[in-house]
Amino acid sequence: DTGVSQNPRHKITKRGQNVTFRCDPISEHNRLYWYRQTLGQGPEFLTYFQNEAQLEKSRLLSDRFSAERPKGSFSTLEIQRTEQGDSAMYLCASSPTEETQYFGPGTRLLVL
């Protein structure tokens, strides 16, 4: 069990650029979640996959955001035309059951 991994750990980009983050869940976990955490706040839910199916999306996930989990294993979160307000920590979590979520270390995004 190597835990949930996320890459990159840090990303600095200019406003208007596209960025993509990757999350590798714990092996055999069929559920995968994305959250966003801004400074001084708790994580906010973005979207959720069960296997390859995206079952739930938050209103926070504007049309500039897209997430995929093509083979039910790793997932990617893409932000198009980044804005300064997108600067945050993006957290990924996975779970084998309906309860406990195991979190990765996060990707910290800074949009200049």
Partner 1 sequence: AQSVTQLGSHVSVSEGALVLLRCNYSSSVPPYLFWYVQYPNQGLQLLLKYTTGATLVKGINGFEAEFKKSETSFHLTKPSAHMSDAAEYFCAVSRNYGQNFVFGPGTRLSVLP
Interface with partner 1 (CB under 8 A) = 4, 6, 31, 33, 35, 40-45, 48, 50, 55-56, 58, 91, 93, 97-106, 108
And the tokens for 110? 């800074």
| Backbone φ, ψ for residue 51 (5° rounding) | 55, -125
Residue 85, number of CB atoms within 10 A of its CB: 9
Within the chain, how many helices (H) and strands (E) appear?
A: 0, 11
In the complex with partner 1, the residue whose CB is nearer, 60 or 112, is: 60
Please state the closest distance from residue 102 (CB atom) to partner 1, in A.
7
Shortest distance, position 69 Cβ to partner 1, whole Å? 15
